[in-house]
Amino acid sequence: MADYMDNIRSKLALLPDLPGCYLMKNDEGTIIYVGKAKILKNRVRSYFTGSHNGKTQRLVADIRDFEYIVTGSNMEALILECNLIKLHMPRYNVQLKDDKTFPYLKITNERHPRLEVTRRVLKDKAKYFGPYPNAYAAHQTKKLLDRMYPLRKCNAMPKEVCLYYHMGQCLAPCEKEVAKSEYDEITQSIAAFLGGGHEAVKKDLQQKMQEAAEELYFERAKELRDQIMHIDALMEKQNINTADTKDRDVFGYAVDKGWMCVQILYMRQGKMIQRHASSFPFYGEAYSDFMSYVTQYYSDNPALPQEILLPDVLRLEDAASVLPPETAEGPGSAGAEESSGQGAASADEDAEADGGAEEAAGESAAAAEAARSAAAGVVDPAGAAAALQQWLGVKVLVPRRGLKTKMVRMACENSRVALDEKFRLIERDEERTSGAAAGLAGSLGLERLSRIEAFDNSNIQGANPVSAMVVFIDGKPAKKEYRKYKVRTVQGPDDYETMREVIRRRYERVLKENLPQPDLIVVDGGRGQISAAVDILENELGLFIPVCGLVKDVKHKTAQLLVGDPPEPVRLARDSEEFYLLQRIQDEVHRFAITFHREQRGKSMVTSRLDAIPGIGEKRRKLLLKHFGSLKKIREASVEDFRPLSIGDKLARQILDALKDEETV
């Protein structure tokens, strides 16, 4: 330990006062964390001085070395960090694993364009709209647009007009020429609609519906009315309005218990149309990891807004409080919008002057806090916003007053609520599982039921007999304590003797190594399996641990719980948490045993087929399987394919003949 700390101290003394990226490594030399810094010396030193929270302590405990790359600016550090994270995928970094899976709406760049939903963004001169938070929202929007705009629907051009033409949803380019200007008009209309201008489209449809009704074209009027209803249904979630009609992405985040939630509010034409949330564990400094998320999000996002709003790290605690009263009615109320809109406009001018951060006068306390944070290596929001703005070429703001601040606070509040909900669900699940264990203990007359060990046997007509044990602690599986057993002494399909052998082996080891004893042993089966287990425990090992059996019905589902000597059924309601816990235990141990049996059966089949061939021993068998990969590949090989393994043509023919003969049996 002293050696690597001496090396780290030497490197810390040589760190420059320059921007750049740093790469933390573990004892194997693997990169486990990548970060960026405005001043490398301050940021990297902060990991090895002072106290850290639990998550960061885990990261620091694994660091054995580091290296750094100096960049010319904060923007270069921002981009380099994003690229390094994607290249090395460090275990402690926030990784936007779904950055390329967001669905987009795409108008293809073809002579006769189509509208489609895609998750691949290509440089193909097509028009992309999005991203959409989920596939359902994208497909619903496409479905609506398909009804309203007659772009072609088919992938390959048909020889004659299809049903879409007769429904008025296609211009039929398969039979008649369609002018490029007509397609351009449709594309512009779709772009306006997706940009938030659906109100104008809706008014136009209402006018056409009225005209159709006046001319007694009631079917057409009904179609137009349905389209208006679909627009209303799709856009009903728009509950925030701003005075201008800018496209914005509003970011907020919250952290708790080592987790971070990032919320994005998508505002188009001044209205919030969608939102997206991501929750993940983080290990570094909160704002730095938040900015890593934002950078990765935009690294492959072709549909940039006109403006991006980011939270201020110094005001993040404000997001944990209840939203201001005026936001309850929506910040787009007339009075709030008028006064806040002016504040936002003046702040925008300041933002352009200082590269993306809106200044607020008289914030000496905030400035002092910012200085302390900078000394500790914490990311400066203004600098991060300026770097992001320079890279993306769109305005990036960190608002500190007015309507935009309320929008960011709403995003932060949504993030906090999402995290609270996540932890409440976890707590509820823990309460249910621990409650089920306590309820089962009461039904069985036990004082406590913390540790349950369950057994199941698996074989096919006595071949490759195996057994498996799973462990549940406080109603939850403890997978690190699962065990597998190859049955040694039992010949043929004897379930009782198999149970006796496995119980003996398990609890001899428990006694010998002083391992924790279970509060309950669960065997898969009825009275015979219970009696076999109890006999070994009490008469051979002197252990008096309660044993119960789970009996399955004809559909191989958990049907009955047996306990006692002689075993008697215990009545449990089928819809109770206790019965559900028993089902989970039985399903899990059965799954574990079957998986192990399949592995052993597969190995024995391969072993027996090759070992039965004269001239093939263990060494050659392993060599063949390593070279070819499977019996199928060996069977399909030619005599020449065996020569690199120093296997002569005669033996190669014997191998091929033996395997082919076995295949025809």
- Tell me the per-residue pLDDT of 597-632, one tens digit each, with 9 for 90 and over: 777 655 555 555 676 677 787 778 778 877 887 777
pLDDT more than 70, % of the chain: 77
Is pLDDT at 6 greater than 80 in this prediction? yes
What pLDDT is stored for residue 525 in this prediction?
84
Which token pair is 412?
Answer: 């932060």
**So what's the pLDDT on residue 233?**
59
**Confidence bin at 401 (pLDDT 50/70/90):** confident
pLDDT on residue 333: 34
The span from the CA of 584 to the CA of 477, in Å, is 9
pLDDT value for 463: 61
Tell me: pLDDT of 148 over 70: yes
Residues pairing with 67 in the sheet = 23
Highest mean pLDDT out of 194-198, 218-222, 308-312, 326-330: 308-312
- CA-based nearest residue to 521, from 540, 499, 539, 553: 499
pLDDT digits (tens, 9 = 90+) for 334-363: 333 333 333 333 334 333 334 344 444 334
pLDDT at 95 over 60: yes
At residue 515, φ and ψ (nearest 5 deg) are -80, 160
d(CA 513, CA 63): 34
Whether the domain at 242-319+380-436 and the domain at 450-600 fall into the same CATH topology: yes
d(CA 622, CA 603): 12
Confidence of residue 381 (pLDDT cuts 50, 70, 90): confident
Question: What is the pLDDT, as a whole number, of residue 591?
Answer: 87
Q: Smallest Cα–Cα separation from 23: which of 62, 65, 66?
A: 66
- Given this model, what pLDDT does residue 33 score? 93
pLDDT band at 379 (very low <50, low <70, confident <90, very high): low
Average pLDDT, the chain: 78
- As a whole number, mean pLDDT of residues 204-221 equals 80
Q: What is the pLDDT of residues 482-525, one digit of tens each?
A: 999 988 887 767 888 999 999 999 999 999 999 999 999 999 88
Split at pLDDT 50, 70, 90, the class of 117 is confident
Show the tokens assigned to 198. 């659906």
- As a whole-number percent, the residues of the chain with pLDDT over 90 amount to 18
Q: Is the pTM of this model over 0.75?
A: no
The mean pLDDT of 527-544, rounded to a whole number, is 92
Q: Tell me, which fold does domain 1-95 have in CATH?
A: GIY-YIG endonuclease (3.40.1440)
Average pLDDT over residues 243-247: 72
Residue whose tokens read 């046997």: 457
Whether the Cβ atoms of residue 487 and residue 465 lie closer than 8 Å to each other: yes
* Residue among 470, 461, 540 nearest 500 (CA): 540
pLDDT at 642: 86
Name the more confident of 219 and 643.
Answer: 643
Query: What is the model's pLDDT at position 602?
Result: 57
Q: Which has more confidence, 212 or 301?
A: 212
For position 362, what pLDDT does the model report?
39
By DSSP bridging, strand 271-281 and strand 307-309 are: unpaired
Q: Place domain 450-600 in its CATH homologous superfamily.
A: UvrC, RNAse H endonuclease domain (3.30.420.340)
Confidence of residue 430 (pLDDT cuts 50, 70, 90): low
* Residue 312 CB-density burial (10 A; 0-12 exposed, 13-18 middle, 19+ buried): buried
Please tell me the predicted confidence (pLDDT) of residue 372.
Answer: 53
- The per-residue pLDDT for 224 is 75
| Cβ-contact 322, 315 below 8 angstroms | no
pLDDT at 344: 34
CA dist., res. 649 & res. 633, Å (int) = 17
Best-predicted range by mean pLDDT (117-131, 143-157, 246-260, 376-390): 246-260
In CATH terms, the fold of domain 242-319+380-436 is Nucleotidyltransferase; domain 5 (3.30.420)
Model pLDDT, residue 451 = 94
> Could you state, in order of their start, the residue ranges of all structural domains in the chain?
1-95, 242-319+380-436, 450-600, 613-659
Helices (H) and strands (E) in the chain, counts: 21, 19
Pick from 301, 308, 311, 310: which is nearest to 395 by CA?
Answer: 308
What pLDDT sits at residue 149?
79
Q: What is d(CA 235, CA 238) in angstroms, rounded to the nearest whole number?
A: 6
Query: Measured in whole angstroms, how far is the alpha carbon of residue 88 from the centre of its chain?
Result: 18
- At residue 531, the pLDDT reads 92
Cα 583 to the center of its chain, rounded Å: 27
Output the pLDDT for position 330. Answer: 38
Residue 603 has what pLDDT?
58
Query: Rounded to whole angstroms, how far apart are CA atoms 654 and 76?
Result: 64
Of 629 and 236, the structure prediction assigns the larger pLDDT to: 629
Tens of pLDDT, residue by residue over 193-208, are 776 666 667 777 788 8
Backbone phi and psi for residue 333, each to the nearest 5 degrees, phi listed first: -65, 150
pLDDT tens, 262-313?
999 888 767 777 778 888 888 888 888 899 999 988 886 667 888 999 998 7
In degrees, to the nearest 5, what angle opens at C-alpha 619 toward C-alphas 614 and 620? 50
DSSP letter assigned to residue 539: I
